[in-house]
Amino acid sequence: MSKASKIVLRIQSADGTKRVEVSDTGTLRELYDAVQATFGYPDDGFALYKERNCTKELVSSRSQSVKDSALKHGDMIYLRSVAGPSTSKQQPPERSSSVASIASTSSSSGATTSGGGGGFSREPTPSTSGATALLNGEDPVDIELYKQDGRIQRKRDEKLCRHNSNGCCVHCSPLEPYDEAYLKEQKIKHFSFHSYLKKLTSGVDRGKFVALEDLNCKIKMGCRDHPPWPKGICSKCQPSAITLNRQTYRHVDNVMFENTGIVERFLNYWRTTGHQRIGMLFGTYEVHPDVPLGIRARVAAIYEPPQESNRDSIRLLEDEHAVEIEELARQLGLQRVGWIFTDLLAENAAAGTVKHVRGIKTHFLTAHECILAGHLQNKYPNRCKHASKGLFGSKFVTVCVTGDDKKQVHMEGYAVSAQCMALVRDNCLIPTKDAPELGYIRESSDKQYVPDVYYKTVVPNLKF
């Protein structure tokens, strides 16, 4: 590296101002390491900002360079100490899995599953409008992401740009975090939720009239134009028909376990008994630097609630210690961020291989798993200031431990869509007996009106 590519940055902190020399082509992670060595701070003990009021945070990333962050020789950077792990720090994940968005699947409450692994049943539970809906204020990660611009910086194109290094044109101007071409190029399938909010609020009115509404599958009560259902119904109280579509955004973009020991201890039950297992994930939400305005769930512990299981199914029991577990997690600064379950069938014990039963030709999640995922997401909703009721969607994730196409133990992360959550909440979906991957819409009856649910299928190109 030539000496001309080195730049000096001034770092201002409560302990004074010091200078750090870095390469302009080095990553922001290398900048953090250089600052840590200069100031002697412990890892994760500080965050860097471009502004004196601690805005425009420089998120530690192994992909973004110092030059990409518009830092020049002699610039002043502001350091602030943080208590506990900083959301800006990116640590190498021991195990992580992307979260996919399931557009629609089955739902209902209290069903039992049979078939190859991953079957569930649960005890009847009270209404899920519960204590979490009464909490005030949004998660700290949401408040932090609201402050970020989220635009994707681009370098000057030597072939197309006709201006000097201080100029900007259409070929090098920053991209919006919801730019579809960029996301496709980076192989990011879904918008992050805050990118979706930026898109909604990017119009002329700046989101003045944006109000996120949950899907409703029930008849509106109190209509006086006719007798109550089933004797009468009108367009004002009748819920609209639903067309199942793939959700374009997701609330959580990545799930990361803090260390492999967490998962290994959880898998030991299956290794010793051959029975499946369910666990609740406790951790925190933080900024995910590899997705524009993304959120990552960092798992610190797995709690295994009371359950009965065998090789093919799991039945959750009433947890007498649920209140104590929640209080202990709160004192540790943790919250429920998701749930994990196993669907593992040993194939060759000597080789340590497992059967590959889930995939595009079979299913990724069964109907019962989607039902339970939707139930839990409704129980732990996401607080959002743009929602008319203060709640919209959920950050609660689902992690499935199963065999991959190489017959190795593998983890995949999912989250059912808002449509699935609504169908589960209003008890409109039930599983089928003979096809675990399919769900069934209830028929309307004198006791419950169920709206029409439509779906679209895409026929692939045929090769002759």
CATH numbers and ranges of domains, the chain:
6-81 (3.10.20.90), 249-455 (3.40.140.10)
CA atoms of 338 and 398, how far apart (whole Å): 6
Q: Which of 378, 363, 453 has the alpha carbon at shortest distance from 415?
A: 378
Cβ atoms of 397 and 337 within 8 Å: the answer is: yes
The pLDDT, as a whole number, for residue 79 is 84
According to the model, what pLDDT value does residue 457 have?
Answer: 63
Predicted confidence at residue 43, as pLDDT, reads 62
**Below-50 pLDDT ranges, the chain:** 1-2, 83-118, 122-136, 459-464
The predicted pLDDT at position 135 comes to 40
- The token pair at 67 is 């030059």
Residue 286 to residue 281: CA distance in whole angstroms: 15
Residue 115 CB-density burial (10 A; 0-12 exposed, 13-18 middle, 19+ buried) = middle
- Token readout for 409 is 């133990």
What would the pLDDT profile of 81-140 be if each residue is shown by its tens digit?
764 333 343 443 344 444 444 333 333 333 333 334 445 554 433 333 333 333 447 899
Pairing of strands 254-257, 294-303: parallel
pLDDT, residue 201, reads: 84
Give the predicted TM-score (pTM) of the model: 0.68
pLDDT reported for residue 333: 92
Return d(Cα 242, Cα 376) in angstroms, integer: 22
Compute the CA torsion angle 286, 287, 288, 291 (nearest 10 deg). 150
276 neighbors 314 (Cβ within 8 angstroms): yes
